[in-house]
Amino acid sequence: MNLRPSEFLADSQVKKGLNMVMADGMTSEAMVVFTSGTFLTAMAVNMGATNFQLGLFAALPTFTTVFQLFSIWMVRRFNNRRVITALFNSLARLPILAIGIIPFVFSRGTSIQVLLLMLFFQHVFGDIAGASWNSWIKDLVPGQQLGAFFSRRSRMAQVLNVTLSLTTAIGIDYIKVHYPQQEILTYHILFLLGGALGLASVAFLLRTPEPQAQVMDDRLLKLFGKPLKNKNFKNLLIFNSFWAFALNLATPFFSVFMLKTIGLPLSYIIGLGILGQISGILSLKIWGNYSDWFSNKTIISICAPLYITCILAFAFVGMPESKLVSVLMLVAIHVFSGVATAGINLALSNIGFKLAPKHESIVYISTKNMFVAFFSTIAPMLGGLMADFFATHPFTWNMQFSTAAQTQNITVLNLQGWNYFFIIGGLLALSSLRFLSKIKEEGEVDKDVVVTHMQVRFRSRVRYNLGREVTNSIYHPSATMKRKVVKMMKYRKQRREFLRNTA
């Protein structure tokens, strides 16, 4: 197997490479499902992790991003991003496999400290590989296909995530009920499966062609000064860092809040997460197309306020006395946050690729990742430290409604524990949007224009589908169809009158 970069890639090689990147995404996503997120949180809670330790688990993926500096040095030294990515991704899978093997080797099993240490090394090696991968894939994917390709990759990964998460959650809940003493062992087996799938993803990367990268001759510190001197990219750094701090103050504790405060079973929490992912999957194609047609900044300006609303709404989930009402609120929050998250994540990733100069992309993107990681690391650790304080300092706002017969107290706001973080995080995220307007992006379109365009396309699709129903039912129209025809004719008449009056 020839692992050297190629000066020129034919269309067939690029197509093969994109397929391999897609396969890498699927196997890596399966690994992530089994070894992080809600399952890792549930495992840590079951092992007796403190609030601060839960904050450390949330901060680990971003705390180790500084090791991307080593990746940049290696890319400059050896100029072979495929080998660097494959080597360090392989090393990143070893701690995952070790976590899975521990209970079969040591009768006492593992501890929170050992789990944190293993995951630390996994993220260190993973970040070194990730920086090299970002630069490699930016050169491989054609610029005009960037939004469409990554939206398709994300959709397929999320479909797999949904399937695996639901199946695994149902299995774990069954084990918790019938074999509770085997619950921790089940999480270790998930790590074994995740590590094996992670090694499979390395095999796909080795088969992915690499375009020849332009050699960077400047010194490392001088290279990292360039993104900070680029005014437009610096504005992106400020917005993304502020946004990441606000979100990571609240979002890492959603699962803990639902487990501890609301008391939902793990399968319910996974089910809600899947609902959000399905919403994201359905909307990703739209966001991918709009990313290529208009601008990533416009997508963020549409999706960010929606996501902020969802964060703030989390603070009110625990207020209703009825658990059914709380669950219904969580359903609505996850649906809308899934749509918003899909657009924001895609746009933030793409705008970083777009604003980074091609021959220095690894430096620009790594600088962005490290800035974002620093603030993403501080937020959950700060949240974990302050959680116990907020738990013992509730804030309640009641209103009295008095009549001649009785006086009734109505709770308007009840903040305690995690609710504080949802309010504070939402308000900080809202204030970060003022930095978004300072970013300049090629092809930028005003948000109102894009919203109007989306509304027009939606109405056109509805009218098209309505017209098909009319055609299919022309010979045997039902009462419902007759009403639809009358409504459509009335709409067309009103539209003609409007155009006539405005001519």
Same domain, 423 and 489: no
Same domain, 264 and 296: yes
**Percentage of the chain modeled with pLDDT above 90:** 20
pLDDT > 50? residue 474: no
pLDDT > 70? residue 182: yes
364-411: pLDDT as tens digits: 887 888 888 788 878 877 776 776 676 666 666 666 666 666 766 665
Q: What are the distances in angstroms from CA 264 to CA 101, 208, 256, 285, 493?
A: 30, 43, 10, 32, 52
Range of the domain at 497: 449-502
The band of 460, judged by pLDDT with boundaries at 50, 70 and 90, is: low
Q: Whose CA is closest to 208, among 5, 17, 9? A: 17
Burial classification of residue 406, based on how many CB atoms lie within 10 Å of its CB (0-12 exposed, 13-18 middle, 19 or more buried): exposed
Residue at 355 is within a domain: yes
The band of 219, judged by pLDDT with boundaries at 50, 70 and 90, is: low
340-350: pLDDT as tens digits: 988 888 888 88
Helix (H, G, I), strand (E, B) or coil at 349: helix
Same domain, 362 and 492: no
Residue at 263 is within a domain: yes
Q: Residue 15 belongs to a domain with what CATH number?
A: 1.20.1250.20
Same domain, 175 and 267: yes
109-138: pLDDT as tens digits: 678 889 999 999 999 999 899 888 988 887
The two three-digit tokens of residue 112, written as one number: 């929170």
Q: What is the mean pLDDT of residues 220-245?
A: 83
Residue at 489 is within a domain: yes
Same domain, 168 and 217: yes
Structural contact between residues 209 and 9, judged by C-beta atoms closer than 8 angstroms:
yes
Residue 110 has a pLDDT of 78
Partnered with residue 402 across adjacent β-strands are: 407
Burial classification of residue 460, based on how many CB atoms lie within 10 Å of its CB (0-12 exposed, 13-18 middle, 19 or more buried): exposed
402: left (phi over 0), alpha (psi -120 to 50) or beta: beta
Residue 495 has a pLDDT of 53
Which residue did the predictor score with more confidence, 62 or 238?
A: 238
Same domain, 176 and 228: yes
Same domain, 495 and 370: no
Same domain, 203 and 60: yes
Q: What is the mean pLDDT of residues 317-342?
A: 85
Q: What is the mean pLDDT of residues 205-231?
A: 77
Residue 71 has a pLDDT of 85
pLDDT > 70? residue 173: yes
Residue at 400 is within a domain: no
Same domain, 427 and 482: no
Same domain, 361 and 480: no
pLDDT > 80? residue 215: no
pLDDT > 70? residue 16: yes
Distance CA 223, CA 110 (A): 42
273-292: pLDDT as tens digits: 888 888 888 888 788 777 76
The two three-digit tokens of residue 329, written as one number: 């609120």
Residue at 104 is within a domain: yes
Residue 199 has a pLDDT of 95
71-99: pLDDT as tens digits: 888 887 888 999 999 999 999 999 999 99
Residue 246 has a pLDDT of 86
Q: What is the mean pLDDT of residues 310-337?
A: 85
Residue at 204 is within a domain: yes
Q: What is the mean pLDDT of residues 167-176?
A: 88
417-439: pLDDT as tens digits: 667 778 888 888 898 888 888 88
Same domain, 118 and 213: yes
pLDDT > 70? residue 221: no
pLDDT > 50? residue 475: no
Distance CA 450, CA 442 (A): 15
Q: Which contiguous run of DSSP H or E holds residue 43?
A: helix 37-46
Same domain, 437 and 457: no
Residue 501 has a pLDDT of 55
pLDDT > 90? residue 448: no
* Rounded (5°) CA angle 457-459-462: 110
Which residue did the predictor score with more confidence, 225 or 332?
A: 332
Distance CA 386, CA 411 (A): 25
Structural contact between residues 379 and 244, judged by C-beta atoms closer than 8 angstroms:
yes
Which residue did the predictor score with more confidence, 246 or 411?
A: 246
The mean pLDDT of the chain is: 80
Domain total in the chain: 2
Structural contact between residues 118 and 187, judged by C-beta atoms closer than 8 angstroms:
no
Residue at 58 is within a domain: yes
pLDDT > 50? residue 473: no
Distance CA 41, CA 43 (A): 5
Residue at 414 is within a domain: no
